[in-house]
Amino acid sequence: MFMREIELKGHIIDSFILAKVFDRTLELGGDYKVLEFDIGKKKIDTSYAKLLISGDTQQHLDQILEELQNVGANIPEIENANLKPALKDSVLPDGFYSTTNHPTHVKVNDEWIEVANPKMDAVIVVYPEEKRAETKVIRKVKKGDFVLIGHNGIRVMPPEKSREAGQLFEFMNSEVSSEKPKEAIIKRIAKEMHEIREEYKKTGTGGIAIVGGPAIIHTGGGPALAKMVELGYIQAILAGNALATHDIESALYGTSLGVNIKTAKPVTGGHKHHIYAINAINDAGNIKNAVESGVLKEGIMYQCIKNNIPYVLAGSIRDDGPIPDVITDSMVAQDKMRTTVMDKKMVIMLSTLLHSVATGNLMPSYIKTVCVDIQPSTVTKLMDRGTSQAIGVVTDVGVFLVLLLKELERLELQE
């Protein structure tokens, strides 16, 4: 057997780090022995554990250790990181380390360096002379870049559960259930949003991003979201052609996919309204021109233009049109989405599985994430694909937004 000691420090019990280490070791065919275990006695106290991890071969042990590092294990007396240059653009050296979305440090020349812009499924490129490291997606790796190899010289720090009773992320505990008390959840989300907005007003940093799908409009939640933009609660919107198109359709014709939003009844000829909406924006040149010329007078996109809120509309193969503002090059859209979301304090994902998973893949785990969808599977898939920090609210998105706005307006009155 090949063996190596590891250490776990922090709130390793209620953040499930210890359980994950046990489970992953056994799942990978390894074994463990607890050498030391010191449990914090008070809520603010941290815990400590030292484990002996064993594998059948050195390669098997290395595979286990790399997985355990990704959930927060540290290796005592850790060696410097192994680096190899890329021999071609977009081609990685064998044995490259694939990143998590957690804050990460690498040890280079006996000095720990924080890795900039953490995201999952990327690699770590190190610039030793500059004492700098960053994540890069494979398509952006250039010949000669020093890429981190293996698991030596890495520290990964997963986010820990909130220690403050009554806080949103402590309350939710990252569980997905349709039976949670919606009113209590919405109050906590509103309180968190209010605090983030007040901080943004003072510092101009942080803020909240919305990742939205067309169901926001279909379910009648568009006016509520537009009002949140107007009130300064939203600092960015990430979506596709559909959200913008149906938002504009609802503003011009009062329908969404040809259904009257107020009466929920189909309108004769309404199936053409979203094409009419696209045509109106094409004629204006873009959304901004449509607002400035008076063609578009309300809605989410209208409020974004009026309040100078950036939006990224990423195209897809399913799009009608699309409207001129849609970015049809998926790699360009991906880069812009990541740049837009990286500095946010919170991301709220509203009824859009594909955009939610895509955004989750682009951002670090320390950004507070809320996923709202009528389908529990959407929230579960988001977490299964690596966005473990997300909390799930299983409910109708239209009702959610109306109640959330009501709670935010109540907080406004208390100021």
Which residue, 170, 229, 160, 161, is CA-closest to 405? 229
Determine the residue type at 57: T
User: 6 near 74, Cβ under 8 Å?
Assistant: yes
- Residue 14 annotated in ligand binding: no
Strand partners, 37: 49
In DSSP notation, 90-136 reads TBPPTTBPPP-SS-EEEEETTEEEEEES--TT-EEEEEGGGTEEEEE
- Residue 80 annotated in ligand binding: no
- Residue 373 annotated in ligand binding: yes
Q: Distance between CA 164 and CA 410 in Å, rounded?
A: 24
Q: Can you point out the beta strands (E) in 281-345?
A: 311-314
Q: Distance between CA 101 and CA 224 in Å, rounded?
A: 32
Determine the residue type at 391: I
In DSSP notation, 46-85 reads -EEEEEEEEESSHHHHHHHHHHHHHTT-B-TTPPPPEEEE
- Residue 355 annotated in ligand binding: yes
By CB atoms closer than 10 A (0-12, 13-18, 19+), residue 34 is: exposed
- Residue 396 annotated in ligand binding: yes
- Residue 16 gets the label, from left (phi > 0), alpha (psi -120 to 50) or beta, of left
- Residue 352 annotated in ligand binding: yes
- Residue 251 annotated in ligand binding: no
Determine the residue type at 3: M
- Residue 246 annotated in ligand binding: no
Determine the residue type at 111: E
Determine the residue type at 33: K
Residues of the binding site:
241-242, 320, 352, 354-355, 373, 396-397
Residues of the binding site for NAD(+):
241-242, 320, 352, 354-355, 373, 396-397
